[in-house]
Amino acid sequence: MSDTKEKILLKALLYFTENDYEGASLNNIAKSIGITKGGIYHYFQSKDELFHDCLVYMLDGLERISMEMVKPDSTLEEFVYGLFSFDELFAVLAAMFQIDLLNDYFNFLYLMSVGIKKFPDLKIRVAGIYQAIGNETEDILRAFKSRGNIKDDLDCTILSLQLSSMIEGAMLIAGLNKSVEIKTAGTEMAESILKMIKK
Amino acid sequence: MSDTKEKILLKALLYFTENDYEGASLNNIAKSIGITKGGIYHYFQSKDELFHDCLVYMLDGLERISMEMVKPDSTLEEFVYGLFSFDELFAVLAAMFQIDLLNDYFNFLYLMSVGIKKFPDLKIRVAGIYQAIGNETEDILRAFKSRGNIKDDLDCTILSLQLSSMIEGAMLIAGLNKSVEIKTAGTEMAESILKMIKK
Amino acid sequence: MSDTKEKILLKALLYFTENDYEGASLNNIAKSIGITKGGIYHYFQSKDELFHDCLVYMLDGLERISMEMVKPDSTLEEFVYGLFSFDELFAVLAAMFQIDLLNDYFNFLYLMSVGIKKFPDLKIRVAGIYQAIGNETEDILRAFKSRGNIKDDLDCTILSLQLSSMIEGAMLIAGLNKSVEIKTAGTEMAESILKMIKK
Amino acid sequence: MSDTKEKILLKALLYFTENDYEGASLNNIAKSIGITKGGIYHYFQSKDELFHDCLVYMLDGLERISMEMVKPDSTLEEFVYGLFSFDELFAVLAAMFQIDLLNDYFNFLYLMSVGIKKFPDLKIRVAGIYQAIGNETEDILRAFKSRGNIKDDLDCTILSLQLSSMIEGAMLIAGLNKSVEIKTAGTEMAESILKMIKK
DNA sequence: CATGAATGAGCCTTCATTCAT
DNA sequence: GATGAATGAAGGCTCATTCAT
């Protein structure tokens, strides 16, 4: 991929995240990377296409990161603490997309939501990623359960959904309610979950 | 409040939710309630003010609903199931704001996020509501705990945050990933939580 | 019709005629009548609509004039000379649309051609006008023929088409080839025709 | 002339005819012949020059055809029928320029009109062609007249202009009013003219 | 020869805003 | 209270043109 093209994608992603689709103007995006508006049209046929490609670019990275975070660890403790190490996640995302998602997690999600409505292929893609992460989590949990680490009466499918929800929700609430400190909250939640599910 | 003014607020809220701040034009809002654009300026000094007042209007309703949902019930079961009866929540919100939030929950949250960035008073207000709900939940949990319904080693503060996160996260995921059916998911999650926290 | 609206129509018609659809910019049209581009959108929803309405406005006038020119006269001579009095026709059109069609007859016709391709309703309208004029001419010729003024072996339907073609063609050629003086050419052609068709 | 250059001219002519000067973009022209926009600038210094050269290219062909159509035939009948065989004319033009002028005769003429306004040399050229055709026609008619084939009281100069006008006008009307079938109309008009001018 | 990157001006359109009525 | 006319800025997009390669 051309250097300029990647610069456009990255900067556009930032502007879209910060100002949403309508609020981000090609003028600003172009100016901020030192080219003209017309230059963008050399690489993308329309604002819509630029938006779409930004989201795909983002999803590619996101999928990689997510799947890495949901890797089987040697112990249940390690696994759960890993899931809730929000600060690490945000650090990786920041390095990847140059976006401070701690404060813009909403916008990030909203962007996906807008994209899903605009582009059917993204809908499928996003659902697929959620599915994959959910399934992977479920499998890992089931493995721990079969090893006797998790209470017998807990359904791993539901548990997986609960964990995902809690993670998304916590990041979201931390964005809206600044009195919640995301890093310590993550650790404490992990600790609490372990108490609840460990046999 | 004047009848016309409330009509404007309600319709504007719908348009803002469906199209976000930039995407909602005074023209469309005005046309859809049968007045002219200029007429809106009788009641609001600017689009920004209209937006702000919309959000306040929404927050007022939201606060009332939330506080009602987090009422102490006779049993822990009833309380938890109540928290996770998403369909009821959405029904109430739909009746109140004429918005289908099941599909637009994102937009709804995003709107708040945009508002918070634009208007500092809303930031305080939102944090306050979350705080209040959190505190109320915490108190109720603590009461159940003191009655011996909840495991001794669980911290009610953390538990409260976990429940809030799970609720927000579940509604959010259901919006993005349509393969998750929000109603049954809610029931199952409630059931699972009870298994985890009940003594 | 609002005064401003008619001013826009008239000036737009001029610009469209002189520069064709693509070449006429709303900017120039607006500026030349002392309003802003946005002001045009108060009266017309799009450049396309403005164009369409211009053509309808023009066709309305054209139809009136044409039908007046093809009125039965007392003698065949008067009738034919009337048809070929191009200078009168151009004077009326100039007064009506403030366009010098003597030099822009092409553009005028071309404009119609573009309009016909863009708007199906105009296609029907234009064909209808030609038809009406043709039929009227035919009827008048037939009347003269039955009174013994026109040679028996001439077909009035064909004759009508020949006259129309000659008129259109002459105006067109005069526009392209400036060595043809339209007024005297008209008179001479009328004279020649009379020699050819009179019994 | 380079092969590529002629390909550009031919395709540009088509685009100019179909979309007029403003509507034809170098981008489309270039793409349709499989080169880049920049490539066109190797052969032509500007869009204006390309346009000018297209028109000259077209006029060259047109002059040749026209002069061939206005050749003295053995009989007056053959000559007149030849002039009005529109279908043959269109067939030759189609083969020459790959343009269906039956439906685009207008655009074709309009293009000339635009060109004449833009480039003074074309104005002279076009007038010259019309003149030449007119003179040639006139000479031929005069020859027939001296042979006693045409009525004595008809002026061959005027007659020539009438024929040219009728031909241009008929092709033009057929373009605007699709209910006129150009081929049969041509034959019938020729027949009628013969009745009118034959001694 | 020809490409591809990039520019800058201009276009149509939308929109928040103002204001006389 | 409310309308309707009008503005001016901005936005997305197209396009002729230039130029290094």
Burial (CB < 10 A; 0-12, 13-18, 19+), residue B82, is middle
**Structure tokens of D95?**
């083969």
Tokens 């009337």, residue located: C82
What is the least distance, in Å, from the CA of C54 to any CA of chain D? 18
* Beta carbons of B151 and B141 less than 8 angstroms apart: no
**Residue D29 falls within a domain, yes or no?**
no
Q: Residues 6 or more apart from C51 whose CB is under 8 A from it?
A: C12, C16, C21, C115, C118
* Beta carbons of C176 and D113 less than 8 angstroms apart: yes
Assess whether B46 (CB) lies less than 7 A from strand E: yes
**pLDDT tier, D106 (very low <50, low <70, confident <90, very high otherwise):** confident
Least confident of A164-168, C36-40, D9-13, D95-99: D95-99
Q: Which residues pair with A198 in a beta bridge?
A: A150
The 10 Å Cβ neighbour count of residue C38 is 9
* Beta carbons of C73 and C174 less than 8 angstroms apart: no
Number of domains observed in the structure of chain A = 1
Q: How far is CA B12 from CA A31, A116, B25, B65, B170, in A?
A: 33, 23, 9, 21, 27
**Structure tokens of C74?**
């007392």
Residue A103 (CA) to nucleotide E13 (C1'), in angstroms, measures: 34
* Beta carbons of C112 and C56 less than 8 angstroms apart: no
Burial (CB < 10 A; 0-12, 13-18, 19+), residue D1, is exposed
Q: Which residues of C touch D192 (CB under 8 A)?
A: 154-155, 158-159, 162
pLDDT tens digits along C52-89: 999 999 999 999 998 888 888 889 999 999 999 988 88
How confident is the model over C80-107, as a mean pLDDT? 87
Taking every pair of C-alpha atoms in chain C, what is the biggest distance, in angstroms? 62
In 3D space, the residue among D102, D6, D22, D21 whose CA is nearest the CA of residue D58 turns out to be D6
* Beta carbons of A102 and A182 less than 8 angstroms apart: yes
Letter for the amino acid at A176? L
Q: Which residues of C touch D141 (CB under 8 A)?
A: none
How confident is the model over B37-49, as a mean pLDDT? 95
What 3 state SS string does chain D have?
CCHHHHHHHHHHHHHHHHHHHHHCCHHHHHHHCCCCHHHHHHHCCCHHHHHHHHHHHHHHHHHHHHHHHCCCCCCHHHHHHHHCCHHHHHHHHHHHHCCCHHHHHHHHHHHHHHHHHHCHHHHHHHHHHHHHHHHHHHHHHHHHHHCCCECCCCCHHHHHHHHHHHHHHHHHHHHHCCCCCHHHHHHHHHHHHHHHHEC
Q: Residues 6 or more apart from C66 whose CB is under 8 A from it?
A: C129, C133
Residue D131 (CA) to nucleotide F8 (C1'), in angstroms, measures: 53
F19 nearest neighbour residue (CA to C1'): D38
**Positions in chain E where some atom is under 7 Å from a protein CB:** 1-20
**Residue C17 falls within a domain, yes or no?**
no
* Beta carbons of D176 and C113 less than 8 angstroms apart: yes
What is the least distance, in Å, from the CA of D136 to any CA of chain C? 16
* Higher pLDDT, residue B142 or D95: B142
Letter for the amino acid at A198? K
Assess whether C47 (CB) lies less than 7 A from strand E: yes
**Residue B16 falls within a domain, yes or no?**
no
**Structure tokens of A114?**
């807008």
**Residue A43 falls within a domain, yes or no?**
no
Q: Is the dihedral of CA A18, A23, A26, A28 positive or negative?
A: negative
Answer whether residue D102 shows pLDDT above 80: no
**pLDDT tier, D69 (very low <50, low <70, confident <90, very high otherwise):** confident
pLDDT in the model for residue A181: 86
**Positions in chain F where some atom is under 7 Å from a protein CB:** 1-20
Nearest residue on chain C to D117, judged by CA atoms? C176
Assess whether C25 (CB) lies less than 7 A from strand E: yes
How confident is the model over C88-111, as a mean pLDDT? 85
Answer whether residue C109 shows pLDDT above 90: no
pLDDT in the model for residue B108: 83
pLDDT in the model for residue C60: 93
Answer whether residue B137 shows pLDDT above 80: yes
Task: Give me the half-sphere count of Cα atoms (radius 13 Å) on the Cβ side of residue D68.
Answer: 11
How confident is the model over B130-153, as a mean pLDDT? 94
Residue B178 (CA) to nucleotide F12 (C1'), in angstroms, measures: 32
Question: In this complex, do C177 and D153 lie within 8 Å of one another by their Cβ atoms?
Answer: no
pLDDT in the model for residue D135: 92
Q: How far is CA D37 from CA A5, B5, C31, D26, D84, in A?
A: 21, 56, 33, 6, 41
Question: In this complex, do B195 and A22 lie within 8 Å of one another by their Cβ atoms?
Answer: no
Note whether B touches D: 3 CB pairs or more under 8 A. Answer: no
Q: Which residues of C touch D113 (CB under 8 A)?
A: 106-107, 110, 175-176
What 3 state SS string does chain C have?
CCHHHHHHHHHHHHHHHHHHHHHCCHHHHHHHCCCCHHHHHHHCCCHHHHHHHHHHHHHHHHHHHHHHHCCCCCCHHHHHHHHCCHHHHHHHHHHHHCCCHHHHHHHHHHHHHHHHHHCHHHHHHHHHHHHHHHHHHHHHHHHHHHCCCECCCCCHHHHHHHHHHHHHHHHHHHHHCCCCCHHHHHHHHHHHHHHHHEC
Q: Which residues of D touch C176 (CB under 8 A)?
A: 109, 112-113, 116, 126-127, 130
pLDDT in the model for residue D11: 92
Chains A and B form CB pairs within 8 A to the count of 155
Answer whether residue A178 shows pLDDT above 80: no
Q: Which residues of A touch B158 (CB under 8 A)?
A: 188-189, 191-192
pLDDT tens digits along C126-184: 888 988 999 999 999 999 999 999 999 999 999 999 999 999 999 888 877 777 888 89
Residues 43-72 of chain C with CB under 7 A from strand F are 43
pLDDT in the model for residue A191: 96
Taking every pair of C-alpha atoms in chain A, what is the biggest distance, in angstroms? 62
CATH classification at residue B119 = 1.10.357
Q: Which residues of C touch D131 (CB under 8 A)?
A: 177, 179
* Average per-residue pLDDT for chain C: 91
Question: In this complex, do D114 and C172 lie within 8 Å of one another by their Cβ atoms?
Answer: no
Question: In this complex, do A178 and B151 lie within 8 Å of one another by their Cβ atoms?
Answer: no
What is the least distance, in Å, from the CA of B3 to any CA of chain A? 31
Least confident of A130-134, B52-56, D95-99: D95-99
Tokens 């270039």, residue located: D30
**Residue C46 falls within a domain, yes or no?**
no
* Beta carbons of A81 and A190 less than 8 angstroms apart: yes
pLDDT tens digits along D82-92: 999 988 888 88
Q: Neighbours of D (≥3 Cβ pairs closer than 8 A)?
A: C
Enclosing domain of residue C105: 57-197
Tokens 């009866």, residue located: B85
pLDDT in the model for residue A101: 81
The 10 Å Cβ neighbour count of residue D144 is 21
pLDDT tens digits along B151-195: 999 999 999 999 999 999 998 888 777 777 888 999 999 999 999
Nearest residue on chain A to B118, judged by CA atoms? A19
Note whether A touches D: 3 CB pairs or more under 8 A. Answer: no
Q: Radius of gyration over alpha carbons of chain A, in Å?
A: 19
Residues of B111-124 as b/e, b for ≥16 C-beta within 10 angstroms?
A: bbbbbbeebeebbe
Task: Name the nucleotide with the smallest C1'–CA separation from D45.
Answer: F17
E13 nearest neighbour residue (CA to C1'): C46
Alpha-helix residue ranges (DSSP H) falling in chain A: 3-23, 26-32, 37-43, 47-69, 76-83, 86-97, 101-118, 120-146, 156-176, 182-197
SS3 state at B177: coil
**Residue A26 falls within a domain, yes or no?**
no
Nearest CB to A161; choose among B130, B178, B189: B189
How confident is the model over D151-180, as a mean pLDDT? 89
pLDDT tens digits along B143-161: 999 999 999 999 999 999 9
**Structure tokens of C148?**
């013994």
Preferred mutation among B158, B167, B187, B197 to probe A, highest tally of A CBs within 10 A: B158
Q: Which residues of B touch A20 (CB under 8 A)?
A: 20-22, 110, 114
What is the least distance, in Å, from the CA of A149 to any CA of chain B? 14
**Residue C155 falls within a domain, yes or no?**
yes
Answer whether residue D101 shows pLDDT above 80: no
Spatial separation of the C-alpha atoms in residues B116 and C145, rounded to whole Å: 87
* Beta carbons of D85 and D167 less than 8 angstroms apart: no
pLDDT in the model for residue B104: 74
**Residue B6 falls within a domain, yes or no?**
no
Residue C42 (CA) to nucleotide E6 (C1'), in angstroms, measures: 37
Question: In this complex, do A110 and B110 lie within 8 Å of one another by their Cβ atoms?
Answer: yes
Assess whether B26 (CB) lies less than 7 A from strand E: yes
